[in-house]
Structure 1
Amino acid sequence: MKKVVDVSAGVITRPDGSFLLGQRAPGTFYPGYWEFPGGKVEAGETPAAALARELDEELGIRAQVLHPWLMREHHYEHAHVRLHFFEVPVWSGEINDHVHSALAWQRADHLEVAPMLPANGPILKALRLPRTMGITHAGEIGVDAQLAALDAALADGLRLVQIREPGLDAAARAAFAAEAVRRAQAAGALALVNGDVELALRCAADGVHLPAAQLAALGARPDLPWVGASCHTRAELERAAALALDYAVLGAVRATPTHPDQPALGWEGFSALAAELPLPVLALGGLGAADMAAARAAGAHGIAAIRGVWGAAR
């Protein structure tokens, strides 16, 4: 059995959304491949402490903010690696590399370097997932009002929309989904249909969002570019990971009018459930744009909201 090696990796980001990659030097495993900076977790270290040390040693920078993000496992020929990814949005010092052949600032939607280290490749899709999901509720506020709110949010930067309309009849839901998908995609946003793979395919949506009950009954991942799921327990989150879904939504962080009888997790409960998963997790439940910093500190990729997004999209 291969020894399990814990490694910390940093997604060092700039305000424009770009992140830093390093090219592995000759004489190492996978020379010439590109990776996120980081290194081995030493005995007695936490993954966060290991990354802070490695960034200082490798790049000469001091991480001032470390957000826990994902944990992925990969079996190389020489080792079973457990990679702890952290987002590093704030650091001090000038980058002065000591270990890589080259460094490059890249964007997930337009990668200009290759090849990526195998364990790091799946991280790129997670970095393409927008940080805020707006969940529609046209059945409550009316189709025209929801479309107007959608247009305003898209103009304000919203780039991820879940079309969730249990209150509309089948014909109205299909018509609304088609129009919402059209408007979202025209603005460069991802549009996902809740719970209906066939409708998602018919209206050329980017993917489907699965309710928890549908996730539990699923035998395989639907054949769509983006697939996510609503989760409320660690078992559901692990099921989403096992099916190689692209993200999960976990809640409720706070009590909400949509689910008034569901106990609130709070940020501590959210963090405990979402820790060390291989897929990004969006926080849900009474949240808005002002909660993004708290969400990221708790390990969330971002936030999802029904009421808190329309009018405050980011």
Structure 2
Amino acid sequence: MTKLIHVAAAAIFNPEGQVLLALRSKQQHQGGLWEFPGGKVEANESVLEALSRELDEELDIQIDHAATRPLIQVPYHYPDKSVLLDVYKVSGFSGVPHGAEGQPLEWVDIANLEQYDFPAANTPIVNALLLPQCIAITGNANGTAEYVKKSVAAISGGAQWLMLRAHQLSSSERTALARQIRATIDAADGVVLSLNGSVAEANDCGVNALHLSSDKLMVLNTRTEFRGRWLSASCHTIEQLEKAVSLGLDFVTLSPVKTTATHPEQPAMGWQAFSELVNAYPLPVYALGGMTAEDVDQSCQSGGQGICAIREYW
């Protein structure tokens, strides 16, 4: 197996909420592309020690470890080398960043990240920065009016993403409901509606985010079948995770992490197994199954993006 080059990298934020990018020299591997600053982890050095040293050398800043948390690990195989990007979110530092090695720097609004050209291994990092920590999943409701009312309440409660899961409805009923909820929440700043359904349904109702069941994931041929921006799926096995990566999905849910009231017969994997699986695949992963707001930090510390939950929001 090809040895992974271990790299510590940082998404560094200023008080205005912008993230710092550095331009790679044309002489470097993946030269001429933008990146999140950092460098190689040396032998007998922890990731945080490496990150502190590299950012001191490259940017002349000293990071605040209390304001630094794990964001995502990305194992990635280029044709000529393999890397493990160990990425942290840095929200506090001292000093004024400048390109101490002559590299151009730029502070960028999160919403504009997709306008920049990154190495392929950085795509999951960009997605992790654009995605929320919590996704609310709809439960049952009695009719369209109650679905809409509960959806608005979930958003008022802090949900930035809402996943419409209504498998008891027919395909036409589900797409009609998605249109109604989308029309209602479009005025909410930054809220995304994701449809848990089929590619055909999502394309029909024009949602920008589609979440596939594990069965639908395994029969999908290419992500270009979906015309929207965000494509995700439910995963429970290594085979499903590998399929999601091969198709270039933007994120997945992994479950069940804890025992759930709806499926008590399914054994929970626990946080250790969740962490091992999450860190083995190059995409953001949400913990699902028995999740509450109190599990967000545990998910992030385990390498996850955050949580998806029904009961917490519905």
Same fold (TM over 0.5): yes
Query: Residue in 2 aligned with 1:180?
Result: 181
Query: Residue in 2 aligned with 1:273?
Result: 277
- RMSD across aligned C-alpha pairs, in angstroms? 2.9
Q: Is the 8 A contact 2:233 2:244 kept in 1?
A: yes
Query: Residue in 1 aligned with 2:268?
Result: 264
After TM superposition, give the deviation of residue 298 of structure 1 in Å.
1.1
Q: Is the 8 A contact 1:108 1:125 kept in 2?
A: no
| Counterpart residue identity of residue 67, structure 1 | P
Residues 60-69 or 211-220, more deviating: 60-69
Query: Residue in 1 aligned with 2:70?
Result: 67
In the alignment, does 2:294 pair up with 1:290? yes
**Are the structure 2 counterparts of residues 202 and 186 from structure 1 closer, same or farther at C-alpha, using a change threshold of 3 Å?**
farther
In the alignment, does 2:139 pair up with 1:137? yes
In the alignment, does 2:310 pair up with 1:309? no
Deviations 1:263-304 (A, max 9, x none): 222222211111132111111122222322222111111211
Between the aligned partners of 1:112 and 1:270, the Cα distance in structure 2 is: 29
Query: Residue in 2 aligned with 1:20?
Result: 20
After TM superposition, give the deviation of residue 309 of structure 1 in Å.
2.3
| Counterpart residue identity of residue 151, structure 2 | L
Query: Residue in 2 aligned with 1:36?
Result: 36
**Are the structure 2 counterparts of residues 242 and 31 from structure 1 closer, same or farther at C-alpha, using a change threshold of 3 Å?**
closer
Between the aligned partners of 1:86 and 1:54, the Cα distance in structure 2 is: 13
Q: Is the 8 A contact 1:255 1:264 kept in 2?
A: yes
- Structure 1 segment 1-314 matched on structure 2, within 5 A: 5-14=5-14, 17-24=17-24, 28=28, 33-45=33-45, 47-59=47-59, 60-62=61-63, 63-64=65-66, 65-73=68-76, 75=78, 79-97=80-98, 98-111=100-113, 114-117=116-119, 119-121=121-123, 123-139=125-141, 142-187=143-188, 188-221=190-223, 222-224=225-227, 225-310=229-314
Deviations 1:229-279 (A, max 9, x none): 101123321221111001000122221122221122222221111113211
**Are the structure 2 counterparts of residues 208 and 280 from structure 1 closer, same or farther at C-alpha, using a change threshold of 3 Å?**
same
Q: Is the 8 A contact 1:131 1:301 kept in 2?
A: yes
Deviations 1:173-193 (A, max 9, x none): 232222122233332322222
Q: Is the 8 A contact 1:252 1:284 kept in 2?
A: yes
Structure 2 residue ranges without an equivalent (≥5): none
Residues 196-205 or 56-65, more deviating: 56-65
Q: Is the 8 A contact 2:20 2:106 kept in 1?
A: yes
Q: Is the 8 A contact 1:42 1:50 kept in 2?
A: yes
**Are the structure 2 counterparts of residues 184 and 82 from structure 1 closer, same or farther at C-alpha, using a change threshold of 3 Å?**
farther
- Structure 2 length-normalised TM: 0.84
* Equivalent residue pairs, number: 307
- The share of aligned pairs that are identical, in percent, is 36
Q: What SS does the corresponding residue of 1:209 show, helix, strand or coil?
A: strand
Q: Is the 8 A contact 1:289 1:309 kept in 2?
A: no
Structure 1 residue ranges without an equivalent (≥5): none
After TM superposition, give the deviation of residue 8 of structure 1 in Å.
2.3
After TM superposition, give the deviation of residue 52 of structure 1 in Å.
3.6
Q: What SS does the corresponding residue of 2:129 show, helix, strand or coil?
A: helix
- Structure 1 length-normalised TM: 0.84
Residues 283-292 or 117-126, more deviating: 117-126
Between the aligned partners of 2:300 and 2:306, the Cα distance in structure 1 is: 6
Deviations 1:83-124 (A, max 9, x none): 414222444433444335343332231249855455435532
Between the aligned partners of 1:158 and 1:175, the Cα distance in structure 2 is: 22
Residues 15-24 or 216-225, more deviating: 15-24
Deviations 1:117-171 (A, max 9, x none): 55435532342222211111234x6543332121123244422121111122444
